[in-house]
Structure 1
Amino acid sequence: MLWVKSFHIVFVTSWFAGLFYLPRIFVNLAMMPPESVAERERLLLMARKLMRFTTMLAVPALGLGLWLWLGYGIGRGAGNGWLHAKLAVVVLILGYHHACGVLLRQFVRGTNRRDHRWFRWFNEAPVIMLVLVVLLVVVKPF
């Protein structure tokens, strides 16, 4: 079980690294002047590759988490409300990940309507969600 936990933590950490960096690329894309075609294409390439890699990391992170939950029974029984709260936050994180994909497609099509300030705020969401997950797992308040 400790091996599964260890790999779960590594994959989740790597997944979050991508979720932290991808919106920073969006900030740069939103600030890009229309005449900077080469720079825009390079940032889009970086964003596409990062999105693909981040998605590839999310799959084992979620799979190992499910293994811990269903296979080892972590979080089952009385006094484990923290896991339900954590799973709710994980659903929010998955929604954020999906939203990043939608925003990337908007940049690719050239239909983004948001400015760089919006993306700076959007970039803060995964930090808040990560703090919630860590607090729920370590403190187990419920």
Structure 2
Amino acid sequence: MSTFLSEMYLWTKALHIVSVIAWMAGLFYLPRLFVYHAEVATRGDSRDEIFQVMERRLLRAIMNPAMIATWVFGLALVLTPGVVDWSSVWPWTKTVGVISMTVFHQWLAAKRKALAQGTSDVTGRQFRLMNEVPTVLLILIVFSVVLKF
């Protein structure tokens, strides 16, 4: 198995990067949709229905598959011999960042359901602030991997 992972390393890395980009695009866009949904739509009106469709499709068709692919290819990279030095700090900071990103993704999924049911307690301003979370996590992850601190 380790020979296969070593031979497929560059393909795995490329697929991991593509998956991360797709996932991040959704993590940046979904909270922005929530801002507009919370600020301009009224439960049951046509805008509410349009936002619900957009949010559901973004989450289910793009974000969920991209998150799963990110994890699958990321774990394959971790299992590839010689890629990760667990005695360094960077794999641990990256791990914390990726787990935090996954928790944020799940929080967004819960907020999508709350908006669809009309029970959301989060304001447009709060969604704007939450929109910064993936940026901070992205910076942590990229700096960890590239600078290997």
TM-score by length of 1: 0.93
Which residue pairs with 2:145 in the alignment?
Answer: 137
- 42, 48, 55: which one aligns with 1:40: 48
- 99, 106, 121: which one aligns with 2:114: 106
Q: 1:67 to 1:111 in 2, by over 3 A?
A: same
Distance 1:41 1:70 in 2: 44
Q: 1:63 to 1:112 in 2, by over 3 A?
A: same
Where in structure 1 do 4 or more consecutive aligned residues deviate above 4 Å?
A: none
Please list, as runs of the form range in 1=range in 2, the aligned pairs for 1:1-142 lying within 5 A after superposition. Answer: 1-34=9-42, 37-52=45-60, 53-78=62-87, 80-141=88-149
C-alpha RMSD of the superposition = 1.4
Percent identity reads 34
Q: Secondary structure at the match of 1:34?
A: coil
Deviation at 1:35, TM superposition (A): 7.1
Paired residues, number: 140
Unaligned runs of 5+ in 2: 1-8
Q: 1:40 to 1:84 in 2, by over 3 A?
A: same
Unaligned runs of 5+ in 1: none
TM-score by length of 2: 0.89
Q: 1:43 to 1:138 in 2, by over 3 A?
A: same
Deviations 1:84-121 (A, max 9, x none): 11001111000000000010010011001221100000
Deviation at 1:33, TM superposition (A): 4.3
Whether contact under 8 Å (2:41, 2:47) holds in the other structure is no
Which residue pairs with 2:6 in the alignment?
Answer: none
